[in-house]
Amino acid sequence: MQHHHSVDASGVLSGPWGAEVRAVLAPDENVQAAFEVDLTADLRFAPGMLVLTERRLLACTAGAPVRDWPLAPGMALRMQDHGGVGQLSLHDADSRLALWRFTLGRHPQALHLQQRLERQVQRLDGPPGAQSPDEDDVPRCAACGTPLPPDSDECTACARQQAPQTSTWVLLRLWRFARPYKKQLAAGFALTLASTAASLVPPYMTIPLMDDILIPYQSGRPIDFAQAGMYLGGLLLAALLAWGLGWARTYILALVSERIGADLRTTTYEHLMRLSLDYFGSKRTGDLMARIGSETDRINVFLSLNALDFATDVLMICMTAVILFSINPWLALVTLVPLPFIAWLIHTVRDKLRTGFEKIDRVWSEVTNVLADTIPGIRVVKAFAQEKREADRFRAANQHNLEVNDKLNKTWSLFSPTVSLMTEVGLLVVWGFGIWLVAQNQITVGVLAAFIAYIGRFYIRLDSMSRIVSVTQKAAAGAKRIFDILDHVSNVPDPVNPVRVQQVQGGIEMRGVGFRYGSRTVIKNLSLTIRPGEMIGLVGHSGSGKSTLVNLISRFYDVSDGAILVDDVDIRRMAVADFRRHIGLVLQEPFLFFGTIAENIAYGKPDATRDEIVAAARAAHAHEFILRLPHGYDSLVGERGQGLSGGERQRISIARALLIDPRILILDEATSAVDTETEKEIQKALDNLVQGRTTIAIAHRLSTLRKADRLVVMDRGEIVEVGPHDELMAQQGAYWRLYEAQARRAEEDAQAAGVLIDSPRLHSAHPAGQ
């Protein structure tokens, strides 16, 4: 019987494990799915393979025989993840049969294997003659029914359908920003119409000048200077009128376009500030800066110059065409001969320009991303002597930008001269046909001269319109990137009817809280109640979910499951800004803005008085070192607090938190990045900060949590122990193991250095909370 293999299977049978798998397969046994395992049980990198058939699960590991487990009712694969490592375990109805570990980059394939095995086990209980796995057992998209790729849980067909396509029509969405200025726009359009009409008067005046003045003079009739002066005066008046109307039109529309551009930048930035942290985690700083900066500038230039020129060109072409047909319809038809060819050329080139400008935008973001990375991190660049590397990186990005622009310029350089050639050919045809009409006495020389003058303006405007295609597509590409931000909905939305909380007591309750980063579970089924004014210490290994939990409490992210309540109100029912006013946050790496010391302390309360700022600094033990600065509280700190030590920056951030007088305080590793002496100073400031507030403190250095009322021990996104220090030490559980391991490391470090340092073991005689 011939084997029928899935996509994954065919790769397995032809891969490094192919011979071993083929050796154990029965003649009529078909491979349904396969998954490559890349970690051993002790978390070392090593290749391995799980192969699923319709009968059993096979496991191939280096240097060991192939193991297999026949499929049976109740059998299942269970998946967990923690700290970047996934775990796949095979269970039957009674016990765990086997365990494999893998890096989380392989999570989609593991999920695929889990789903296929589940379907195979379900089929064991099905009626005889059920459809074969190859016909029915392929995972499909719930929306469109398309089979899902073996290495992904995302439908490619739906992704293609949902991919937004840039179109010139996206520029119409700018009307929402133009609507407040519709009166000025209407006035500008009226002025454009009037100035265009005035500019069309001079060519028409050439008809009487030629037929009534110049040609009769060549026949012997004297020139009527009064009549000629009247015509020339009319030309001057039309020119002055066109100039005045054009100036007023340009001024009004330039003012309006600048305001539209300013509103666009402000709205985009305000919307960006309302987006949740996960959006910023997936975007580069340089890219966002380019969107708000250069893209809005490009749109602004389009609105102030090119859109105005385009409207003028359209009006000029339409009004000129009417005049031409009124003078001589046949000659006018000949004039329009190049128009279909130019329209076809514009349509053909437009799509190439649009995609080209989109690519240019993306490539330019690479250049700005290099700048956004290296300039703030210049200290690290110089510390590791990587100036040449970063210069090469910038040169490569700049070269890529140059290559993309060169490719687009090839298209544009051919397009523009081709349009000019077509207009010249059209003008030549009009000359030839016009001379023939003059020879047939169907038109006068004056009519032909006026026609040529109008045609010159007609073709110039047509050529100008073709050139606007480039800037229009640039503006459309920029508008798409702007609206990509404006169309993004925050994952932490404000409620429609928020609950107004005037005063927060600080009681926090977590009910069955769960949270996932994409498909990776970080917090699961977590429940905890914190009393108002209580100090809680969060402890656990790196990756146990401590920082994620405080991010959820701060509502930087929303929970995937369960709820978090403050004073018995779900925080999702509160306005985000109102809720966060009651939270003070002190981070492991304090961020200071470019400005004065006083401005940084008063960041959360801009209207604070100088006395309030000084009081907060005193409580944070920052007043003394601030006074030693050249200008005291008015001393400028560099970008991100350059010029201050880590401990000084931390005490300013504590003063900043003290000033807003929060009811809930979150300390995220507030003392982990400083030396022991500085830690003592910061700890004094923290003692002032935590009084009377609900405090949640994260610390790897367990000795810093000795004043906590309760310690919450987390592991793999779950709470494993809760209680005071003495109680948890007596249980000799997870907290005791953490404490002892840290004490041993501290003592070993002290012995190696020949000094006595702050160790948790040194505080064992003084239990936490005493």
3-class secondary structure, 99: strand
Q: For residue range 241-280, what is the model confidence (pLDDT) as tens digits?
A: 888 888 888 788 778 888 888 888 888 888 888 877 777 7
Share of the chain above pLDDT 70, in %: 78
CA angle 385, 387, 390 (to 5 degrees): 125
| pTM across the whole model | 0.58
Residue-level pLDDT at 136: 44
Note the pLDDT of residue 163: 40
**Residue closest to 137 by CA, chosen among 149, 152, 127, 147:** 147
Q: Is the pLDDT of residue 675 over 60?
A: no
Q: Rounded to the nearest 10 degrees, how much is the dihedral formed by the CA atoms of 497, 503, 688, 535?
A: -70
Judge whether residue 452 has pLDDT over 80. Answer: no
pLDDT at 719 over 80: yes
Q: For the chain, what is the mean pLDDT?
A: 76
pLDDT in tens, 14-24: 566 777 777 78
Distance CA 493, CA 250 (A): 42
Q: Which of 132-146, 295-309, 572-586, 743-757 has the lowest mean pLDDT?
A: 132-146
615, 649 in Cβ contact below 8 A?
A: no
Pairing type for strands 569-570 and 96-103 reads unpaired
Residue 130 confidence (pLDDT) above 80: no
Q: How far apart, in Å, are the Cα atoms of 208 and each of 221, 242, 323, 436, 452?
A: 15, 21, 16, 21, 15
Residue 2 has a pLDDT of 41
| Contact between residue 643 and residue 637 where contact means Cβ atoms under 8 Å apart | yes
Q: Are 690 and 506 in contact (CB under 8 A)?
A: no
CB–CB of 435/315 below 8 Å? no
Whole-angstrom distance, CA of residue 289 vs CA of residue 364: 11
Q: What is the pLDDT at residue 3?
A: 40
Q: Alpha helix (H) ranges present in 14-170?
A: 18-24, 107-124, 133-136, 156-162
d(CA 202, CA 350): 34
Report the DSSP beta bridge partners of residue 561: 514
